């Protein structure tokens, strides 16, 4: 029965892709496109590999074994989440985001340069200090965080979380620099530096986010609705870099630049293809079904959302601050050892309220991303709004896997901060609050400017 369910799930996924592709709003810029990629990889392709190779690693680490009913529930739950996400996102985001609007922006690209330089001058030293301090802490074998013994949530002890995560601002700064300089070959140098520095911390998500944001802006700038061969090649290179960092958690990169005394990461298990924990959302979801509510006797009832009220307060200012959500109806570690678990969007929904939770959680995410998609689609001539949306959309490569709006909010504080400053400094520039000669930026590319003027003239000659 499980094999038949996997076949049916594959056919259903193909049908869902067909429905999306034929919709008038279909493009790589739609949040549903990223959800289809997420679902297809983690809940269609990988379950087939898990069946062929008989994945056991996560079951061994987590110390549990799902029943066949649990495994079938996960496949059905993932497909329910897909249906809900497509329905809600296509109902709200029912307008096509036209790449042609890239050449008709109300604010010239070059007019943002001075504001960008000021924002970068303010934020870059903070981001570099953050990432270098992280390198030092890891290389010395003296990390600045610990694991809460009750909830097993990682908490900061000798540092402030805002400073530790401040390095994330380097990602949007590098991406925006490449876009402002029209993707010249040398414009990618800051991005390459960020990828190396972030990979040296052992963290993979932020540089995957940066590459995703870069690809979105590049495709938009080239007025394309779908990736081309060069885009696919860059994605493949990103996947290779991800795999390299996973192997030793960045130790090899750190050793090139500094003395590294951290504990060497050894792979003692012979993984089958894609069996390692970075892609194991299938098994994580199975663990949630195994526990909730069969063994826990309860759901979480969306109590995790209370963390929105406690998360912004630094631990240094709140002695005894709860690790994670302030209210919990269960402890998943009472039934196994789910270390490093990312539940995924449908899995998080099941944890909150079972089948109904999947519907609610996926609908919330779909409505959230699709609302900003619709704003960008209807006001595509607003450069700052489109930039905001693309920097937000790129978070889906992490948030769909995490399944938490807290994760989106935590990331967006840093990923959107450079753009917020650019917007503020642009307003000041328009009102004459900035010196006229401050931070003079590059002049418009003459050939590009001629192309834009020719396109506008051709459109003006068309009959109404």
DSSP 170-225: HHHHHHHHHHHTTT-GGGGHHHHHHHHHHHTTT--HHHHHHHHHHHHHHHHHTT-S
- The pLDDT value recorded for residue 381 is 62
- The runs of H, that is alpha helices, within 93-188 are 113-139, 161-165, 170-180
Question: Which residues is 44 bridged to in the sheet?
Answer: none
Residue of 9, 38, 147 whose CA lies nearest to 399: 38
Angle CA 429–435–439, to nearest 5 = 85
- The pLDDT value recorded for residue 441 is 41
* Dist CA 317 CA 155 (whole Å): 14
Query: pLDDT, tens digit, for every residue of 190-231?
Result: 998 898 888 777 777 888 899 999 999 999 988 888 988 777
* Dist CA 35 CA 401 (whole Å): 10
- Greatest C-alpha distance within the chain: 71
Average pLDDT, the chain: 84
- The pLDDT value recorded for residue 142 is 62
Q: What are the tokens at 231?
A: 């885009």
Arithmetic mean of pLDDT, 440-459: 55
Lowest mean pLDDT among 133-137, 322-326, 416-420, 430-434: 430-434
- The pLDDT value recorded for residue 453 is 58
* Dist CA 236 CA 200 (whole Å): 20
- The pLDDT value recorded for residue 205 is 83
- How many C-beta atoms lie closer than 10 Å to residue 326's C-beta? 14
Q: How many angstroms from the chain centroid is the CA of residue 190?
A: 20
* Dist CA 416 CA 427 (whole Å): 17
Q: Helix %, strand %, coil % for the chain, to 5?
A: 65, 0, 30
Domain limits, the chain: 2-461
Question: Which residues is 145 bridged to in the sheet?
Answer: 156
* Dist CA 271 CA 262 (whole Å): 24
* Dist CA 380 CA 97 (whole Å): 7
Query: pLDDT, tens digit, for every residue of 401-412?
Result: 999 999 899 999
Q: How confident is the model at residue 328 (pLDDT cuts 50, 70, 90)?
A: confident
Q: How confident is the model at residue 438 (pLDDT cuts 50, 70, 90)?
A: very low
Query: pLDDT, tens digit, for every residue of 115-174?
Result: 999 999 999 999 999 988 887 777 776 666 666 656 656 666 666 778 888 999 999 999
Angle CA 415–319–405, to nearest 5 = 30
First to last CA, the chain: 59
* Dist CA 236 CA 215 (whole Å): 13
Query: Under a CB-based contact definition with an 8 Å cutoff, are residues 275 and 53 in contact?
Result: yes
Strands, DSSP E only, in 45-153? Answer: 145-147
Arithmetic mean of pLDDT, 390-417: 93
- The pLDDT value recorded for residue 256 is 63
Residue of 150, 145, 78 whose CA lies nearest to 401: 78
């Amino acid at each position: 029965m499980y094999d038949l369910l996997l076949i049916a799930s594959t056919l259903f996924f193909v049908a869902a892709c067909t429905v999306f592709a034929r919709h008038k709003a279909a493009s790589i810029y739609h949040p549903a496109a990223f959800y289809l990629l997420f679902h297809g990889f983690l809940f269609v392709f990988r379950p087939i590999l898990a069946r062929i190779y008989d994945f056991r690693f996560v079951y061994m680490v987590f110390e549990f074994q799902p029943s066949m009913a649990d495994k079938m529930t996960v496949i059905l739950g993932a497909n329910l989440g897909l249906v809900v996400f497509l329905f809600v996102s296509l109902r709200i985001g029912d307008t096509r985001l036209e790449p042609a609007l890239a050449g008709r922006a109300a604010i010239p690209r070059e007019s943002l340069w001075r504001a960008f330089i000021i924002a970068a001058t303010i934020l870059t030293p903070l981001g570099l200090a953050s990432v270098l301090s992280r390198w030092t802490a890891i290389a010395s074998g003296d990390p600045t965080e610990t694991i809460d013994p009750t909830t097993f949530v990682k908490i900061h002890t000798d540092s402030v979380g805002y400073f530790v995560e401040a390095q994330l601002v380097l990602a949007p700064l590098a991406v925006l620099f490449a876009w402002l300089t029209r993707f010249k070959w040398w414009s990618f140098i800051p991005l390459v530096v960020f990828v190396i520095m972030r990979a040296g911390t052992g963290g993979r998500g932020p540089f995957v986010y940066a590459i995703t944001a870069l690809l979105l802006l590049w495709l938009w700038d080239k007025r394309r609705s779908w990736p081309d061969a060069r885009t696919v090649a860059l994605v493949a290179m990103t996947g290779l870099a991800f795999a390299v960092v996973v192997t030793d958690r960045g130790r090899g990169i750190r050793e090139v630049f500094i003395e590294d005394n951290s504990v060497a990461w050894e792979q003692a298990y012979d993984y089958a293809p894609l069996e390692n924990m970075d892609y194991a959302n299938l098994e994580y979801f199975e663990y949630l079904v195994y526990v909730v509510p069969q063994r826990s006797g309860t759901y979480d009832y969306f109590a995790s959302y209370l963390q929105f009220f406690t998360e912004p307060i630094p631990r240094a200012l709140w002695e005894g601050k709860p690790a994670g959500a302030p209210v919990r109806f269960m402890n998943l570690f009472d039934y196994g050892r789910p270390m490093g678990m990312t539940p995924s969007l449908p899995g998080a929904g099941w944890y909150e309220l079972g089948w109904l939770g999947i519907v609610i959680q996926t609908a919330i995410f779909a409505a959230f991303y699709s609302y900003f998609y619709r704003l960008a689609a209807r006001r595509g001539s607003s450069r700052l709004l489109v930039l905001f949306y693309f920097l937000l959309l790129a978070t889906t490569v992490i948030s769909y896997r995490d399944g938490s709006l807290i994760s989106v909010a935590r990331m967006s504080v840093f990923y959107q901060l450079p753009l917020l400053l650019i917007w503020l400094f642009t307003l000041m520039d328009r009102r004459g609050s900035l010196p006229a000669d401050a931070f003079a930026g590059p002049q418009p590319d003459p050939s590009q400017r001629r192309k834009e003027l020719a396109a506008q003239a051709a459109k003006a000659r068309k009959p109404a």
